[in-house]
Amino acid sequence: MKRHHTLLAALMLLVAAATLTGCLDDENPHSPTATRLLAANINGTDWSATSPSATRIVPPAATTVVGSGADIQLTLNIAAAATGTYQLGGTTHVALCRYNGKEFTTNRAGASGSITITAYDEATKLLTGTFTFTARTAAGDSLTVSSGRIVNVKWAEQ
């Protein structure tokens, strides 16, 4: 009977350790199982990319984050490779969204927004941040992107 309790206790300890290790992986951005996310609310509908990725070009310093899903493609370009807040518009920092067969961009009149990169990890090549913007088509149609999140998206050097 005592042996049975010892085996049961060892099994419970093993299950608890495996459960805690699994939870820790989700919290550790360096873990291969950590959440990778590019998501936003686009014109009132929640959206997330199926396989977000990023590219970093140095020099000059530039970062592009891309993702697609549900017939939407989102591209964020910043002329930097560091943490900070970048104002969208003009040709330096630009957001582009293909939505409902139209191309919306922040480099048109009346468009605005920002991208904030909160983590840019050189060792793991992961970046995290937030974004929000209003983009326009050449015809003047408007698209609103809010609550944008970039979480542990891996970049490749180019």
Task: Count Cβ atoms within 10 A of the Cβ of residue 73 and give its class: 0-12 exposed, 13-18 middle, 19 or more buried.
Answer: middle
pLDDT in tens, 96-109: 999 999 999 999 99
Dig out the tokens for 107 from the structure.
């480099």
Label the pairing between strands 142-157 and 37-42: antiparallel
Q: What is the pLDDT of residue 23?
A: 39
At 91, the pLDDT band (50, 70, 90 cuts) reads confident
Q: What is the pLDDT of residue 158?
A: 86
- Closest among 43, 103, 44 to 73, alpha carbons compared: 103
Label the pairing between strands 112-121 and 102-105: unpaired
Q: What is the pLDDT of residue 35?
A: 86
**Residue 60: cis peptide before it, omega within 30 degrees of 0:** yes
Is the pLDDT at 24 greater than 50? The verdict is no
Q: What is the pLDDT of residue 69?
A: 94
Cα 113 to the chain's mean position, in Å? 16
At 33, the pLDDT band (50, 70, 90 cuts) reads low
